[in-house]
Amino acid sequence: MMQLRRSAERGYADHGWLKSFHTFSFAGYHDPRFMGWGNLRVINEDRIAPGTGFGTHGHQNMEIISYVLSGELAHRDSMGHVQSIPPGEVQRMSAGSGVTHSEFNHAQGQTTHFLQIWILPDVAGVEPSYEQKRFDDAQKRGQLCRVVDGQGRDGALRMHADASVWAGCFDGDESAVLKDLSSRHVWVQVVRGSLQANGHNLDTGDALMMKDEAQLVLANGQDAEVLIFDLKPMLN
């Protein structure tokens, strides 16, 4: 089973300081057809205006990933972390038993463009934790690089969830294959450029949802950057 989720079909909110596309139902956007996929619950494509951001707020029992595309994201949390997340670095925060944090764009004249991703944990109430790591362009060039993983494999950030997140950049003849997926849910999210996923043409912001498919084949990229989610099957 494969189904396309086109960029223009996503939910959209314009708060002035924040412009956000919602892949799944979130806040004031609700679509019963898109409540999540496997244990993936949120992919918000956010653009934060200069000098603005999300004030201190709380989370519980969620694995939260930030993937910055341009600008920088300033992070501060109740665990004592004060970090700046530039493009190429990935953040993983396990909210667990409860954490508060804020996210801001302190740069003048530059919008912060990033993906906010939430994945349901396998265990509730864990001690909150935070990781951040750089993944160089060379690690993603023409291949898939595992950036977050439930077991921390291949040097990925480790989360408390049965899932893997892969990032890759593809252009021209570059291609990649992920196998042994027939028992998994898979979500393919193009974050820039265009490519083909199992023969489907995807442009910036488009996605392909898959289940009961043996493998994923990525090819024919045009300045493409893509995130792949290998997910625990659930009822959706």
pLDDT per position as a tens digit, 171-229: 999 999 999 999 999 999 999 999 999 999 999 999 999 999 999 999 999 999 999 99
pTM: 0.96
The DSSP string of 80-135 is S-EEEE-TTEEEEEE-TT-EEEEEEE--TT--EEEEEEEE--SSSSPPPEEEEEE-
| Per-residue model confidence (pLDDT) at position 59 | 97
| Per-residue model confidence (pLDDT) at position 236 | 64
| Spans of all domains in the chain | 2-231
Q: What is the CATH number of domain 2-231?
A: 2.60.120.10
| Per-residue model confidence (pLDDT) at position 22 | 98
Report, as an integer, the average pLDDT of 62-78.
97
| Per-residue model confidence (pLDDT) at position 71 | 97
pLDDT > 90? residue 235: no
Q: What is the pLDDT of residues 14-60, one digit of tens each?
A: 999 999 999 999 999 999 999 999 999 999 999 999 999 999 999 99
| Per-residue model confidence (pLDDT) at position 9 | 97
| Per-residue model confidence (pLDDT) at position 108 | 87
User: Within 13 A of 231's CA, how many CA atoms are on the CB side?
Assistant: 25
